[in-house]
Amino acid sequence: MASAAAIRPFSRLENDVTGIDITFAIAAYNAAPFIEAAIGSVLSQTVSSVEIIVVDDESTDSTVDIVRRLMAQTDRLRLIQSTRNSGPAASRNKALSAARGTWLAVVDADDLVLPERSRHLLDLAQSTGADIVADNVERFQDLSGQSLSTILQTCCQPYCFLIDAATYLQHNTMFTAEITLGYLKPMFRTSFLRKHRLTYSEELWIGEDYDFCLRCLLAGARYVVTSGCFYRYRVRDGSLSWRLKLADTQRLIAAHHKVMAQCPNQGGSFNRAADSYVEGLERARDFAVLINSLKEHRWRDAANSILARVDLVPILSESLYAHLSKKLARFIESRGRDGQGRNLHLYL
């Protein structure tokens, strides 16, 4: 691992004719409560040569009105409106097609980026010759703003490391204790994406960023990550990435087999990681079937699922514990004040 302190400053490439270092792509759907803060955080970057493309996925709230109001205040913001709700991957593809920056950065419509993020990532890319760069992600609570955790371990000194395709698969296998690299929000060299004709898989509504990164790596991308934490991921009840359904797992399995068919013979470590990854997806698929049976009170089907896969029992126990803990926290919050707004003391 190399120290981030040794990274040389970024200088604009000679063939950059647009003068735009980074295009920020924001896919938005009913993001009215958050979109202004997300855009504001991008406009606050210490690197001034950025543009923002918001792709609205046919929102039914005031998202478009807010973006248009902000467009009147800056020429660095553009809006693309979809004619039908097509999902985040389709929105990212629209932004990629219209991007003028040397780099493409993906920011979710309810997340935030710290002002120095772009400078750090550009310096990292310049120093390492990377095609993809990413930083650490801090998860924070929506309502309170409280910091919850980071995706990567932090320490007293920042560090950076290289990710290959096998490592990326290993660190995205479901139901393991490994860190999940798919939650990082990378920045991509636009020329690399266009040279290899890489676009997002639009059939995926969850896991589209993971799938895109994996295909970039298999196309030969150099991916470097820093432990520096400049991206803030908002944790809220309505976050799409926290809801994995049966159809989602089936689409991810199909996408994985498609990638494997297009890129055979990657070597032993990659093939072993790929096998483990698909086993994790199949476990997630079977778990989704079990959950559906429980929700619909089909007890016999649920029992058969457990008998067929006893490895689902600890996953179910952990899921139930998390669900009950969340319900208890909401109960405490709702009962923590009386009708006059005075704090009540609850003893458990």
- Reading the chain (348 residues) residue by residue, the pLDDT tens digits are 444 334 344 444 433 446 899 999 999 999 999 999 999 999 999 987 999 999 999 999 999 999 999 999 999 999 999 999 999 999 999 999 999 999 999 999 999 999 999 999 999 999 999 999 999 999 998 888 888 899 998 887 889 999 999 999 999 998 875 778 999 999 999 999 999 999 999 999 999 999 999 999 999 999 999 999 999 999 876 554 445 688 888 999 999 999 988 876 777 888 899 899 999 899 889 988 898 899 899 999 999 989 988 888 888 887 777 667 666 666 665 655 444 444 333 332
What was the pLDDT predicted at 343?
Answer: 39
Token pair 């992600």 is at which residue? Answer: 137
| Dist. CA 42–CA 19, nearest whole Å | 17
State pLDDT tens for residues 229-286: 999 999 876 554 445 688 888 999 999 999 988 876 777 888 899 899 999 899 889 9
Q: Looking at the chain, how many residues does it have?
A: 348
CB neighbours (10 Å) of residue 14? 6
State pLDDT tens for residues 179-194: 789 999 999 999 999 9
What was the pLDDT predicted at 320?
Answer: 78
What was the pLDDT predicted at 332?
Answer: 65
In angstroms, what CA-CA distances link 39 with 55, 69, 129, 155, 229?
12, 12, 28, 30, 19
In angstroms, what CA-CA distances link 162 with 63, 95, 196, 270?
37, 27, 21, 15
Backbone angles phi, psi at 264, to 5 degrees: -75, 165
pTM reported for the whole predicted model:
0.82
Looking from the CA of 248 toward its CB, the CA atoms found within 13 Å total: 16
**DSSP letter (8 states) at residue 8:** P
Q: For the chain, which domains are there?
A: 2-242 (3.90.550.10), 246-334 (no CATH)
What was the pLDDT predicted at 334?
Answer: 60
Give yes or no for a contact between 43 and 76, defined as CB atoms under 8 angstroms apart: yes
Give yes or no for a contact between 27 and 92, defined as CB atoms under 8 angstroms apart: yes
What was the pLDDT predicted at 120?
Answer: 96
- Measure the CA dihedral 88/166/256/245, to 10°: -60
What was the pLDDT predicted at 245?
Answer: 82
What was the pLDDT predicted at 8?
Answer: 40
Give yes or no for a contact between 144 and 152, defined as CB atoms under 8 angstroms apart: no
